[in-house]
A and B are shown apart, each in its own frame.
Chain A
């Protein structure tokens, strides 16, 4: 009997853990949450000299149908003058830089740290129509992982008019060269799951110990 409890109790706990990890309901999967589940408020990509947010005008919304470029629009357009410094909306690790400005498509992609724990969280933010800094320490060498970008660290200038009027386009991708995602639901599920895992594993351990007694 005791041996059976020793076996069944941890098994039950592991089952509970599995259910907890996969317990995302359909209404959660398909819901749109306009900022309501953000772990942190993103900063503006445009700043004043003291780093405070410069709340600039949005001229193109995400998923907006349009006649030029991609339709629907796969990111957000913001009015910024040519030559203005661009800052990250979250800190993170730079994963890709495109220095080719010929089509006004210079870009930087950042694996964002959305919960400010100092590590990237797999939310890739791509900033386009910019001239990435070529003389700074940011390396374009693909053999070398790229640098960490702090929240108040500028990394590019808005490019001059080559195809379009100067502006910043930025979008959320699933990976460095992945699909664009709509700007919604910045929930970092892993944080909650980790907490649940710790709790449940603790209960499991105590349960095993109790059953052993």
Chain B
């Protein structure tokens, strides 16, 4: 009898120790950093990405899984259509839920006759549209353009003008004397379609005033020469459309003097004046992750080197570092081009290959030249981050335990300098 009582006491002790250990584990998992982080931010349940100053719903991780597991295309379409679409208008440090508007727009495509695209959107605080991402793989993309009643729509290897309010999509890259339908039909049959995919227009990059944009095209491959790509300029006021030459693909942006900056095939950053065609090499051997904050180019280089600011006007370089920095990537400037948001993997290098990264976010302020960091909670992977306006950033965190996704609005003041 005594032995049985002793065993029961032992069992009770064991259960108590087990429960206590679990409580300690739970407390350490969910309190370290996370409470502190969420207390200083606005949390929105679900995955929302930044579009034109708004937050719009994106396919959640769990929805992606659900759709990926379906072989039936009709079932996939049904799942896409049944997903909840919504958005938030961000005003200062508040987020107000908005109803999503749907609109189908029919239009004449450049090469494949009539087509119709479905758009879902909300309005931002400037009464401009923020379009939800294209989930149904119809592969369109909208680029905002300043000072115009329309945006640029990239779709199926061509570029169009789109005015969602009026429900209009029109061709913007029309045939000209050099490239007309007769010329295209004559030469396209001679091309090996499996070898080259012709791009009439892609990657539109509007200038600051919004009266011109550059774009990538491979239409010059029709001529049969060595060059199979080019950057072209479209003047929206005069209708002019001309080539700047075979430069590259990735554009860093424009300055106020009508110079456009491209990353070329030799890993240099070049500037081209679109009015006179003058090309200058701005930076040789540049990091392709560089961003333009005219008159600066900001980039990170080699490990532990921090942020580098290159002054285009005088050719000087300044390095800015912090003891917390290990490997910087993903640089993004705010709309005012005064601050750079980046991610820092602060113990990635030198660790073992199976180890998870430790990523936090940093902001470098161009004016006070100080790097500040945001304490990130444990138990999450950083899915995405972006500026919403000049002071607020949004970030999406995925729980590595439950795969729950949440979107956070974080004020710049949450970023602290580390001594």
- A residues whose Cβ falls under 8 Å from a Cβ of B: 34-41, 48, 50-55, 57, 59, 79, 81-85, 91, 93, 95, 111, 116-120, 131, 133-137, 139, 144-148, 150-154, 157-158, 160-161, 165, 209, 212-213
- Indicate if the CB atoms of B197 and A135 lie closer than 8 Å: no
- Indicate if the CB atoms of A148 and B359 lie closer than 8 Å: yes
- Measured between beta carbons, the chain A residues less than 8 angstroms from B133 are 52
- Indicate if the CB atoms of A137 and B65 lie closer than 8 Å: no
Q: How far is the CA of A78 from the CA of B138 in the complex (A)?
A: 17
Q: How far is the CA of A86 from the CA of B413 in the complex (A)?
A: 33
Q: How far is the CB of B2 from chain A (nearest CB, A)?
A: 14
Q: With an 8 A cutoff between CB atoms, is B199 at the interface?
A: yes
Q: Which residue from A34, A85, A137, A152 sits with its C-beta under 8 Å from B303?
A: A137
Binary interface encoding of chain B residues 351-365 relative to chain A, with 1 for a CB under 8 A from any of its CBs, else 0: 111111101000000
Q: How far is the CA of A84 from the CA of B386 in the complex (A)?
A: 21
Residue among A82, A135, A139 with the highest chain B CB neighbour number at 10 A:
A135
- Measured between beta carbons, the chain B residues less than 8 angstroms from A117 are 356, 381, 400
7 contacts between A and B (CB under 8 A): A54-B141, A135-B287, A136-B300, A137-B349, A147-B345, A212-B7, A213-B7
Sample of 15 further A-B pairs with CB below 8 A, known A116-B403, A117-B381, A150-B343: A48-B141, A52-B49, A57-B197, A81-B249, A83-B229, A83-B248, A83-B263, A93-B354, A118-B400, A119-B355, A135-B287, A136-B287, A147-B349, A154-B289, A157-B250
- Indicate if the CB atoms of A36 and B70 lie closer than 8 Å: yes
**With A82-B265, A135-B287: A41-B381 Cβ-Cβ less than 8 Å:** no
Q: How far is the CA of A158 from the CA of B203 in the complex (A)?
A: 15
Q: With an 8 A cutoff between CB atoms, is B158 at the interface?
A: no
Q: How far is the CA of A26 from the CA of B162 in the complex (A)?
A: 54
Q: How far is the CA of A120 from the CA of B356 in the complex (A)?
A: 8
- Measured between beta carbons, the chain B residues less than 8 angstroms from A139 are 303, 349
**With A41-B67, A79-B197, A116-B403: A148-B354 Cβ-Cβ less than 8 Å:** no
Q: With an 8 A cutoff between CB atoms, is B14 at the interface?
A: yes
Residue among B7, B228, B301 with the highest chain A CB neighbour number at 10 A:
B228
Q: How far is the CA of A38 from the CA of B250 in the complex (A)?
A: 32
- The stretch of B86-94, B100-108, B271-279, B326-334 in contact with A is B326-334
Q: Which residue from B8, B195, B199 sits with its C-beta under 8 Å from A213?
A: B8
- Indicate if the CB atoms of B228 and A165 lie closer than 8 Å: yes
- Indicate if the CB atoms of B11 and A209 lie closer than 8 Å: yes
- Indicate if the CB atoms of A82 and B289 lie closer than 8 Å: no
Binary interface encoding of chain B residues 46-70 relative to chain A, with 1 for a CB under 8 A from any of its CBs, else 0: 0001110000000101001101111
Q: How far is the CB of A177 from chain B (nearest CB, A)?
A: 14
Q: With an 8 A cutoff between CB atoms, is B134 at the interface?
A: yes
- Indicate if the CB atoms of A153 and B51 lie closer than 8 Å: no
- Measured between beta carbons, the chain A residues less than 8 angstroms from B195 are 165
**With A81-B199, A136-B289, A165-B228: A118-B328 Cβ-Cβ less than 8 Å:** no
Q: How far is the CB of A34 from chain B (nearest CB, A)?
A: 6
Q: How far is the CA of A171 from the CA of B108 in the complex (A)?
A: 37
- Measured between beta carbons, the chain B residues less than 8 angstroms from A83 are 229, 248-250, 263-265
